[in-house]
């Protein structure tokens, strides 16, 4: 699609955005349904303690390494507690609309992720089901903190785009840390659906950038500069995030090279010529933020390279002898104040 010509400074209200993006939502809902595979949690785990499907090999029941267990639990709790902003905003549309249908499908698919992860952790990995349920109840009560998710429809679309892709990147790296082929297969299956979710939200954001460039890029800039990993409100999250970065599950380099840059390239953010003055300023701030993250990533890699590669059960000192900046609640660059 060619880059639009000329600036457009339209500021559209929420209801109009929903109407204007309805056709794109319908197209992407059809694409999602066509690409979606039919699978069930019991394809991977036995029902009610029964005999597992013959095509699946089950390792002996044993505890996970502490890093792998913490990462899996964060993944599970995130799947069970979706951001609510988009759901609330689509309450005003018809129940049979593409928006409402999508939110229900997205919720159901994430519920399926929760079920298979919970059963894996409890049935095969000896995770305390009572402690896990208490953590789930606490998590559902506190809610998930996402970067400006719920501030507006455009903020929610941008936030969930990055969150889904970040979760997918983490999923593909948790399996090897678990040291269990079954965990790898489960996380790959979930990751495939996360890819589809990412595409849906990314395409809606792309359409919004065509529709109202300055308004959309402002939301993108707000989210990029204030991004938070799902689970940041959980007690002990900073320590867990640091260790996840140490073991290559999700670190600042992956955030920059596998989440932010590819997404911004898909949106042609640095090629567009349809921004007004405000949009240009936001784009400059995003560019400076990426430069700041690049410097942070290099420092993190240098610190990590100076330490011995830890094993998941080790209590190795954190890179550089201090808490990694990735463990902080967000990546706020010094340029964030300009947005």
Which residue numbers belong to the known binding site for Fe cation?
113, 164, 197
> Strand locations in the chain, DSSP E?
none
Q: How many CB atoms are closer than 10 A to CB 336?
A: 18
Q: What are the backbone dihedrals phi and psi of residue 5, each rounded to the nearest 5 degrees, phi first?
A: -100, 140
Q: How many CB atoms are closer than 10 A to CB 208?
A: 25
* CA dist., res. 66 & res. 7, Å (int): 52
The SS3 of residue 214 is: helix
Q: Write the CA distances from 265 to 217, 258, 268, integer angstroms.
A: 13, 11, 5
Q: What are the backbone dihedrals phi and psi of residue 13, each rounded to the nearest 5 degrees, phi first?
A: -70, 165
Binding-site residues, please? 113, 164, 197
Q: Count CA within 13 A, CB hemisphere, residue 265.
A: 7
Q: Write the CA distances from 239 to 63, 69, 323, 329, integer angstroms.
A: 20, 14, 8, 11
């Amino acid at each position: 699609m060619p880059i639009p010509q000329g600036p457009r400074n339209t500021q559209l209200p929420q209801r109009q955005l929903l109407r204007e993006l309805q056709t794109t939502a319908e197209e992407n809902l059809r694409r999602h349904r066509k690409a979606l595979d039919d699978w069930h949690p019991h394809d991977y785990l036995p029902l009610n303690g029964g005999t597992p499907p013959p095509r699946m090999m089950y390792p002996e029941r044993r505890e996970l390494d502490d890093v792998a267990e913490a990462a899996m639990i964060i993944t599970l709790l995130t799947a069970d507690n979706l951001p609510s902003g988009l759901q609330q905003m689509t309450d005003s549309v018809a129940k049979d609309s593409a928006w409402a249908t999508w939110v229900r499908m997205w919720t159901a698919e994430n519920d399926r992720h929760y079920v298979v992860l919970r059963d894996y952790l409890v049935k095969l990995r000896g995770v305390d089901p009572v402690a896990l349920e208490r953590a789930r109840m606490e998590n559902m009560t506190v809610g998930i903190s996402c970067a400006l998710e719920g501030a507006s429809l455009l903020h929610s679309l941008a936030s969930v785009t990055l969150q889904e892709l970040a979760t997918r990147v983490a999923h593909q790296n948790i399996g090897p840390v678990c040291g269990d082929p079954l965990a790898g297969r489960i996380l790959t299956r979930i990751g495939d659906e996360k890819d589809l979710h990412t595409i849906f939200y990314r395409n809606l954001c792309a359409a919004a950038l065509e529709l109202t460039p300055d308004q959309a890029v402002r939301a993108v800039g707000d989210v990029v500069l204030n991004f938070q990993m799902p689970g940041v409100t959980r007690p002990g999250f900073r320590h867990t995030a640091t260790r996840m970065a140490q073991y290559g599950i999700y670190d600042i380099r992956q955030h920059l090279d596998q989440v932010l840059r590819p997404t911004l390239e898909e949106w042609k953010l640095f090629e567009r010529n349809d921004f007004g003055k405000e949009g240009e300023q936001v784009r400059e701030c995003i560019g400076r933020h990426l430069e700041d993250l690049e410097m942070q990533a290099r420092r993190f890699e240098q610190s990590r390279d100076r330490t011995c590669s830890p094993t998941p059960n080790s209590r190795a000192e954190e890179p550089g002898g201090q808490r990694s900046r990735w463990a902080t609640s967000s990546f706020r660059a010094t340029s964030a104040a300009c947005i």
